[in-house]
């Protein structure tokens, strides 16, 4: 069992149809260089008791600007290549229980 407290409901989807579910995480990013805030969505696989970031293979992470309202559009403030620098190796609040 795993717990990921990254402010998202931890949806799992097999996005690339490889038989493994990708875990979608979300964390908040205050980006001071352009004075905007974003939700950063990244992807992980759970294998052998560990989480592995698989975002790069699936064109993640993606950033969605935080606008104090429902917003589901990937921001155009960064290219997809630039968004990759906001990827994390593991979610910030991750715990694994046997």
User: Model pTM?
Assistant: 0.79
What rounded mean pLDDT belongs to the chain?
82
18-23 mean pLDDT = 82
- Residue-wise over 9-46: b if at least 16 C-beta within 10 A, else e? eeeeeebeeeeeebbbbbbeeeeeeeeeebbbbbbbbb
Per residue in 37-64, pLDDT tens?
Answer: 999 999 888 788 778 899 998 899 999 9
Please indicate whether residue 3 or residue 52 has the higher confidence score (pLDDT).
52
């Amino acid at each position: 069992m795993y717990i990921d407290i990254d402010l998202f409901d931890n949806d799992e989807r097999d996005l690339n149809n490889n038989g493994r579910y990708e875990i979608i995480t979300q964390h908040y990013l205050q980006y001071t260089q352009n004075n905007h805030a974003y939700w950063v969505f990244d992807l992980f696989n759970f294998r052998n008791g560990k989480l592995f970031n698989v975002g790069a293979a699936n064109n993640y992470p993606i950033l969605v600007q935080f606008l104090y309202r429902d917003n589901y559009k990937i921001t155009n403030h960064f290219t997809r290549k630039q968004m990759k620098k906001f990827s994390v190796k593991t979610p910030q609040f991750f715990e694994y229980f046997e």
